[in-house]
Amino acid sequence: MTEARAHILSKLNRAIVREDIGAGSVDDRIATHNTGPLPKRGQDPDQAALAARFVQESDLAGSDIQQLASRDDVPAVVAAYLRSKNLPPELRVSSDDIFGGVPWEGEPGLTIRDGVVDAADGAALSAAFAGVAETGTLIMASSPDNPAMHAFVPLVHMVILPESRISGNYEAVWADLRHQFGAQVMPRMLNMITGPSRTADIEQTLLMGAHGPQSLLIMVIGDL
């Protein structure tokens, strides 16, 4: 190191105000969960406005999205969507409690299977932990009741998202996660899904379903 460079670095080192970052400081920072600047687009206090922005952003990302009045509408929407994709009326459904009130008997031609999805399944239905209005992103928290593979294996992934679970931004979702699971606990896997899987790596040609389902249907339900 040259003498001039050493002199410059020495002056810079003396000018830097060093903050004590001992163990106590680190613990305090972790406990406070400070956030940075938040875009205004994700801070609307009106839940209906957040839901409208989520629908708009999800549509721009290529998701198929429908707003339903209640769970009673789910079977007919699912059956129609499967027909539109030329898939048999068969669906792998996660065992999340949210599906307990879905009247599947309203579509007697629809075969419902529980358990983890496998390669033979053309479509799967799962429940979202949250939605992010800012970007139209689904937050999927893995659990025995909501296997992560539902979002990766089948050709079609369908998701139920209660309107009440739509947050303005990611920071609000992290707060909800800490509240539900505990400050130092997280789901084993957390997937953020914005539209169906895609890539344009090869000759800049957009290919859908490159790393997962080719189609994503989001059902936003207002009344649960």
DSSP state letter for 101: G
Strand partners, 92: 113, 124
Average pLDDT over residues 31-36: 75
* Confidence class for position 213, pLDDT limits 50, 70, 90: confident
Percentage of the chain lying above the pLDDT 90 cut: 56
Question: Cα separation of 176 and 142, whole Å?
Answer: 15
Question: Cα separation of 220 and 224, whole Å?
Answer: 11
* Confidence class for position 202, pLDDT limits 50, 70, 90: low
pLDDT for the residue 40: 77
Question: Cα separation of 51 and 28, whole Å?
Answer: 34
Domains and CATH numbers, the chain: 41-223 (3.40.50.10420)
Tens digits of residue pLDDT in 119-163: 889 999 999 999 999 999 999 999 988 999 999 999 999 999 999
Structure tokens at 128: 């979202």
CB atoms within 10 A of CB 68: 17
Tens digits of residue pLDDT in 53-79: 999 999 999 999 999 999 999 999 999
CB atoms within 10 A of CB 106: 13
pLDDT for the residue 124: 95
Question: Cα separation of 21 and 24, whole Å?
Answer: 8
pLDDT for the residue 19: 60
Structure tokens at 216: 């994503």
Q: 4 — phi, psi (to 5°)? A: -65, -45
* Confidence class for position 86, pLDDT limits 50, 70, 90: very high
Q: Tell me if 138 sits within 8 A of 161, measured CB to CB.
A: yes
Q: Tell me if 94 sits within 8 A of 129, measured CB to CB.
A: no
Per the confidence metrics, is the pTM higher than 0.85?
no
Q: Tell me if 148 sits within 8 A of 78, measured CB to CB.
A: no
pLDDT for the residue 123: 95
Average pLDDT over residues 200-208: 59
